[in-house]
Chain A
Amino acid sequence: MLRDITIGQFYHVASPVHRLDPRVKVVAALVYLISLFVFSSFAGYIVVTVFLLTVITLSRVPFSYIIKGLKPILILLLFTAFFNIFWTRGDVVFQWRFITVTWQGLRKGLFMAMRLIYLIIGSSMLTYTTTPNQLTDAIETLLKPLEKLHVPVHDFAMMMSLALRFIPILLDEANRIINAQSARGADFEEGNLWKRMKAMVSILVPLLVSSVRRAYDLAMAMESRCYHGGAGRTKMKPLKYRTVDGIVYGILVIYFIMILVVTHFIKI
C-alpha cells in the first residue's frame, strides 16, 4: 500500500555515493536531467544507462527497491506511451478501423517512456543517497549568490527540507488512518465512484486536520528554539569538498560531452 512508495525517500546504507558532498550530487542530478533532453537518438541512452548503472551499483541501493519507486508513475508512463504511439503521423505499420500505429509513433512512444523512467530513477537516486538535511544544505549553499538579488534562499531551503522531512511522517499517518477506517469497514477499492470518493474523504479530512496540527506544533517548537531565519546562522557541519568530489565534477563534464559526441555521430 502507501508504505510501498519509495520515491523521494532516503535509503540508509553506507556507500561511496552516500559519502559524496551533497553539492556534487545536486549538480550531478541537474547535469543528468539536462543531459536527458539534449539528444533525440537512442544511442544517447547507452551512455545514460552506463552512467546510471554505475551510480546505482556504487550506491548499494537494491535495484528492486528502485523499480518499486516507479510504481506511482506507471499510469503517467502508460498515458505518455499511449498518446505518442496512437497520435503520431508517419509511416503506417498497423491499421484497424480508426486505430493507426506508425513507426514514428512507436519510436516516439518508446523514447518518451524511457526518458520518463530515466528522469524518475535519476532524480530519485539523489534522494535515496542524500538526507533531506544534506540536500537543503547543498541547495542553500549553491543558491547563496542569489541572496544578492534579495531572493530569500534560506527560507526556501528550510521550507523544502521541512516538506521532505514530512513526507515519511505523513505517509505513516495516512497509512494509520487508512487502517483505522478499514477497521470501520471502509472499502477503498470496491463500490461505485461516489462510494469510493466518500471513502477517500474519510482519509483526507483526518489527514488534513493532523497536518495542520503538526504544522502548528512545529512552528511552536521552532519558535521556542528562537529560530529567526537564516541571518547570522552558523553550521555545525559546514560542507567541505574532498578530492573525490573534484573527480566526480570532472566525470560529469566528460559524461555530458560523451552524450553530445555520441548522439552527434550515431543517429538512430
Chain B
Amino acid sequence: MIIVNELEHIYNKGTAYEKRALHDVNLKIDDGEFIGLIGHTGSGKSTLIQHLNGILKPSGGSIYFDGEDIFARDYSLKKLRSRVGLVFQYPEHQLFESSVIGDVQFGPKNIGMPSLQVELHAYEALKQVGIGDELLDVSPLELSGGQKRRVAIAGVLAMEPQVLILDEPTAGLDPQGRDEILDLVADLHKKRGITVILVSHSMEDIAKYVKRLIVMNEGTIQLDGRVEEVFSHHRELETMGLRAPQVTYVMEGLAARGISLPHNAVTMQQAVSGILEAAGAVK
C-alpha cells in the first residue's frame, strides 16, 4: 500500500526558473489496484510518479510504502526500486546492452538477485511481454519500435516489482502497437496480481482498462474515483484541457433526447449493449 501525504515539489528552487510542479497531493493506493493517472501536459503526473520510487525528492510532504517512510534517512531506495518498478516515457531510449537478454538482466543484477533467479526472471519477463526465444541474443538496437518498448518493460518487470508504474507507455506507437501494449499491461495486472499505475493523457486509452482514475491538473489531484464517476464530470475535465471518451458524449446526447439508458457507459462495448438494451425496451 502506498500513502502519499501532502506532497509538494518545486523545481529549481531559488532561481528565476522556479516552478511549483506539485502541491497538496494526497493519495492512497491499495495493493492490486489498476489505476489510470491522467492529466494535461505539465499537470505534474510525471513528477508525481518519480516520487513514488524515490527518483525525485519532495520539497515537502511524505510518502509511505507499506507503512515505511521512503524518504527516511535509513530507508533503502534500492530495495524500494525493486518493489516499485517505474517504466519511463520512451523506455526504449534506455537500452544499452549488446543483447536483449543482457539488457533485461541489468535491473535484477543491480538489486542483487542471485544469478540463477536473474536468468529465470529475465527469461520469464521477456516471454510475458511476447518476445520470442529467437530475439534473446539480438542487439536491442535492431528491434522495431514496439519490440524495443516491450524489452524495456521486461527490463523493469524482471525485477519482480509489486507495483508497476508506466509513464505514457503508448507514446509514439501506431494504433495497433498501442492496443498491444495496453493489452499486455492489463494482462500483467491480471496474471501477476500487481498494482499497476498507467499514466496517460488519452482518456480513450485508459477507459477500457483501469478501474480507478486519478485526474491531475496544475500540480494537484482534481478528481479521484471510479472511471464512470470521473467521466460524469466531463465539463470539468474539459476546463482542464481533457475530454471524456467519445462514447460518453454520445450517451449524453441520447439521454438529452429523452432516451433512458441503463448505465453510464465508458467503453464502446458498454455503450453498444446499453443502446441495444434501450432500443429493446422501446420496442
Q: Which residues of A are at the interface with B, using a C-beta cutoff of 8 A? A: 3, 11-13, 62, 64-65, 173, 176-177, 179-187, 201-202, 205-206, 209-210
Interface size class, chain B: 20 to 34
The 10 tightest CB contacts between A and B, nearest first, are A185-B110, A205-B96, A184-B107, A180-B94, A183-B86, A185-B111, A180-B88, A179-B55, A202-B96, A206-B96
Q: Are A185 and B93 in contact (CB under 8 A)?
A: no
Nearest Cβ on chain B to A176's Cβ, whole angstroms: 7
With contacts A180-B91, A185-B107, A206-B96 taken as known, whether A65 is within 8 angstroms of B15 at the C-beta atoms is yes
Q: Are B93 and A183 in contact (CB under 8 A)?
A: no
Q: Tell me which residues across on chain A come within 8 A of B280, comparing CB atoms.
A: none
Q: Are B96 and A183 in contact (CB under 8 A)?
A: no
Q: Are B93 and A180 in contact (CB under 8 A)?
A: yes
Q: Tell me which residues across on chain B come within 8 A of A180, comparing CB atoms.
A: 88, 91, 93-94
Q: Tell me which residues across on chain B come within 8 A of A173, comparing CB atoms.
A: 93
Nearest Cβ on chain B to A92's Cβ, whole angstroms: 45
Contact residue among B95, B96, B108, B110 (Cβ-Cβ distance under 8 Å from A201)? B96
Q: Are A186 and B14 in contact (CB under 8 A)?
A: no
Residue-by-residue, is B84-101 near A (CB-CB < 8 Å gives 1, otherwise 0)? Answer: 011110010111100000
Indicate if B81 sits at the interface (CB-CB under 8 A): yes
CA distance A209 to B140 in the complex (A): 12
Indicate if B192 sits at the interface (CB-CB under 8 A): no
Q: Are A64 and B14 in contact (CB under 8 A)?
A: yes
CA distance A177 to B152 in the complex (A): 13
CA distance A173 to B93 in the complex (A): 9
Q: Are A183 and B81 in contact (CB under 8 A)?
A: yes
Select the residue from A12, A183, A201 with max chain B CB neighbours within 10 A.
Answer: A183
CA distance A206 to B87 in the complex (A): 16
CA distance A37 to B86 in the complex (A): 52
- Give the secondary structure class of A's interface: helix
Nearest Cβ on chain A to B149's Cβ, whole angstroms: 13
Q: Are A184 and B16 in contact (CB under 8 A)?
A: no
Q: Which residues of B are at the interface with A, using a C-beta cutoff of 8 A? A: 12, 14-16, 50, 53, 55, 78, 81-82, 85-88, 91, 93-96, 106-108, 110-111, 141, 155-156, 159
Select the residue from B91, B96, B108 with max chain A CB neighbours within 10 A.
Answer: B96
Contact residue among A3, A12, A186 (Cβ-Cβ distance under 8 Å from B16)? A12
CA distance A224 to B158 in the complex (A): 43
Q: Tell me which residues across on chain B come within 8 A of A202, comparing CB atoms.
A: 94, 96, 106
Q: Tell me which residues across on chain A come within 8 A of B53, comparing CB atoms.
A: 183
Q: Are A179 and B111 in contact (CB under 8 A)?
A: no
CA distance A182 to B53 in the complex (A): 10
Q: Tell me which residues across on chain A come within 8 A of B108, comparing CB atoms.
A: 185
With contacts A11-B16, A65-B15, A187-B78 taken as known, whether A181 is within 8 angstroms of B94 at the C-beta atoms is yes
- A213's nearest neighbour on chain B, judged by CB, is B93
Nearest Cβ on chain A to B211's Cβ, whole angstroms: 25
CA distance A62 to B94 in the complex (A): 35
Nearest Cβ on chain B to A201's Cβ, whole angstroms: 7
With contacts A176-B93, A177-B93 taken as known, whether A185 is within 8 angstroms of B16 at the C-beta atoms is no
Given A187-B78, A206-B93, 16 additional A-B pairs, CB 8 A: A12-B16, A62-B14, A176-B88, A177-B94, A179-B88, A180-B93, A182-B55, A184-B94, A184-B110, A184-B155, A185-B108, A186-B110, A202-B94, A206-B94, A206-B96, A209-B141
Q: Tell me which residues across on chain A come within 8 A of B78, comparing CB atoms.
A: 185, 187
Nearest Cβ on chain B to A199's Cβ, whole angstroms: 8
Q: Are A184 and B106 in contact (CB under 8 A)?
A: yes
- A203's nearest neighbour on chain B, judged by CB, is B96
Q: Are B95 and A206 in contact (CB under 8 A)?
A: yes
Nearest Cβ on chain B to A178's Cβ, whole angstroms: 9
CA distance A64 to B78 in the complex (A): 33
26 residue pairs A–B, Cβ–Cβ below 8 Å: A13-B16, A62-B15, A64-B14, A176-B88, A177-B93, A179-B55, A180-B93, A181-B106, A182-B81, A183-B81, A183-B85, A184-B106, A184-B110, A184-B159, A185-B78, A185-B82, A185-B111, A186-B106, A186-B110, A202-B96, A202-B106, A205-B96, A206-B93, A206-B96, A209-B141, A210-B93
Nearest Cβ on chain B to A150's Cβ, whole angstroms: 41
Q: Tell me which residues across on chain B come within 8 A of A65, comparing CB atoms.
A: 15-16
Q: Tell me which residues across on chain B come within 8 A of A183, comparing CB atoms.
A: 53, 55, 81, 85-88, 156
- A185's nearest neighbour on chain B, judged by CB, is B110
Q: Tell me which residues across on chain A come within 8 A of B85, comparing CB atoms.
A: 183
With contacts A13-B16, A65-B15 taken as known, whether A185 is within 8 angstroms of B159 at the C-beta atoms is yes
Q: Tell me which residues across on chain A come within 8 A of B94, comparing CB atoms.
A: 177, 180-181, 184, 202, 206
CA distance A202 to B107 in the complex (A): 11
